[in-house]
Structure 1
Amino acid sequence: MPLDPETRAQLVETMRRFVDERLIPREAEVADADAMPADIIQEMRDLGLFGLSIAEEYGGLGLTMEEEALVVMEVGRAAPAFRSMFATNVGIGSQGIAIDGTAEQKAKYLPGLASGAIIGSFALTEPEVGSDAGSVRTTARRDGDHYVLNGTKRYITNAPHAGLFTVMARTDPAVKGAGGVSAFAVEAGVPGLSLGKPERKMGQQGAHVCDVIFDNCRVPAEALIGGREGQGFKTAMKVLDKGRLHIAAACTGLAERIIDDMVGYAVGRRQFGKAIAEFQLLQGLFADSKAEALASRALVLDAARRRDAGEDVAMAASCAKMFASEMVGRVADRNVQVHGGAGYIRDYRAEQLFRDARLFRIYEGTTQIQQTIIAKALIAEARGKAGL
């Protein structure tokens, strides 16, 4: 059930204060240490951030998509590593179970995911499988009351901290493409599951990724999400539609924060006897950034409301993710330009946010994949109207 307007406003304001007072002041610490402070993680748990999208009956906040987007826009104003800490629990790390899991799977895992006691991770990407999710090569062979998993997953967010992996694996090698892929809830620590070394990344220090390796990893048959083989790709697509709106909201929030930084710096920085904010060429950068951020906010919230109303928003989610992720990259680049030489110096944060923003155009489906999804939907729509 949606929150009443007053409660929703209080939630958004609480998140804004948390970002301003607790997260932004510690960005440099997180980036330098490449680690998330334990006290910040606990505060996130206390605020319910790990369970934003999980139903109240399992200990979550049970927010609508629109409410989640509004919260994420606030949290997204801080360096993206903070959001990444809990985002897999909110999205791809829990929603496969929340949407398609059995009653037993939901009862077993969702309370821990909602509280943050369990960190969830979504294991889809492989060394030779990224955007083409239907070409998964990791296998899951039925062996009595178990499945035996073999394969490697790559660039898996939060894998070093995860207690639970949602794993996409091919259960039917005779079925090519998406139909042979199934989803599994695999607990960390089971024999045959190991982790690669944490990757050193361009940005988003404090958010960790690594390979997840399955070597004759035996999991009980009850780990099959939903209890049915061949549904994994469908589960992944349901999760990714929601996740793309979440990412688009995060991009919007980060862009809004960067605009504040950009204009704030320009108002205080003087050249030729006046604040550089008075220069019309820079004002054009401000105006373009603000207009694009407002457009992104409107696009995300419109798609979120439509999803809450039960509409199919696959194309709208792709539009939002594509636009917002490209937009925040442009805004981050303009911010470096407005800062001039200072934009290349770490103390001013512009260079860090520029690097942080770059990843948004890649994960949860690259810009090019979003373009393909949108184009195919438009073509199908046109053919339908023409009766072709």
Structure 2
Amino acid sequence: MIILKGGTVFGADQTLADVAVDGGRVVEIGTVAAGPDDRVIDCSGAWVGPGLVDVHVHLREPGQEWKEDIASGSRSAAAGGFTTVVAMPNTEPAVDSGQMARYVHDRGVEAGVVRVVPSGTISLERAGRKLSHIDDLWAAGVRIFTDDGDSVADAGLLRRAMEYIAELGGIVAQHAEDSGLAGRGHMHEGAISSRLGMIGLPSMAETIIVERDIRLVELTGCRYHVQHVSARATIEVIRRAKAAGLPVTAEVAPHHLAFTDRLVESMNPVAKMYPPLRSDEDVAALRVGLADGTIDCVATDHAPHSAHEKDVPFEEAPRGVIGLETAAAAINTSCALPIADFFDRMAVRPGQLLGLETGPLVVGSPGDVTVFDPAANWTPETFVSKSANSPWIGHELTGRVRSTIYGGQVSFQLGEDGQ
């Protein structure tokens, strides 16, 4: 039995208590006496809540294992307090069939430190021309469908996908970007891009796709999830859709809550991400949207790239940053959410998207638990991930994951294995 001793438990009343986990379940909450064979983990000063869930992770396998693979990405996720991650399907080859989805799932089971949930593409080979093998993907357990990395530009194709996926009960997740408006933009279109003489990517490119897609949600009734929201205007569109009772959800990435396009002035390619870092006004609106629940969850968009790929001029560098190991701390530092909102946005709501059994800890809850110290200060320097393209290197963060319990077993413990 594992006994998490003396933390503030995200439960009915957020009180100091011990949490006992045995046989893959929470078996006791209160004052728990330890036996000689029990593992006791000191949680004083820490929050204890359900395992974190990330619905947007790039594990790069198959096809780009030099950046990350499912095993290394799983260990990185566990180090960040995550017990479930959704693997994006923009691999090589893409996850557009049941066979590929089963491969991703099975590799996650082999790694054994987090639950790896495969997503599947909307279009065959992510080419945006024909629907993928949606029925085959569904039979393999896929519930989220996305062409992430690209938007589904063809409204007719997306309508057919939504009609089909709505009948099944699945979710369409959209990387919202109008390619015609985005053009060859490398950063947010604004005063800084003009001063740097760099092609900008307007926030309208995101908002206009979400506005279009919500009309299709009205038509089809399909559940619709907006990935990595970055623009203030997009939040207003989502807010109106929710007020109208439409089945719309949204996520935000930690880096979009923490940094603005001023970071690009350094011309460090690590500051190049997709969507780009935007204005102060956008960041402020994102924080409000997360706090008031318009944005349902935090998702890292963990996008590993090797050092040599990022060690090029800014315009030539690939887009994306890693985020699994810093997400909880970054959210705590940027947004200072109280314990209930922290676990709601990082565990409960993203878990509900996947149909997981998640919520405040009670006796009988799954043995997926995260221990997070909201007051610990640290500066990221090294990572469990194969890649290190993190914008938080050298930046002090407040809050750190101490322990991760997955399936009733310790999958990460700060201070062990060099951590």
TM range (shorter): under 0.3
TM (normalized to structure 2)?
0.23
TM (normalized to structure 1)?
0.24
**More helix by percentage:** 1
Q: Choose between structure 1 and 2 for higher RCO, CA contacts under 8 A separated by at least 6 residues.
A: 2
**More strand by percentage:** 2
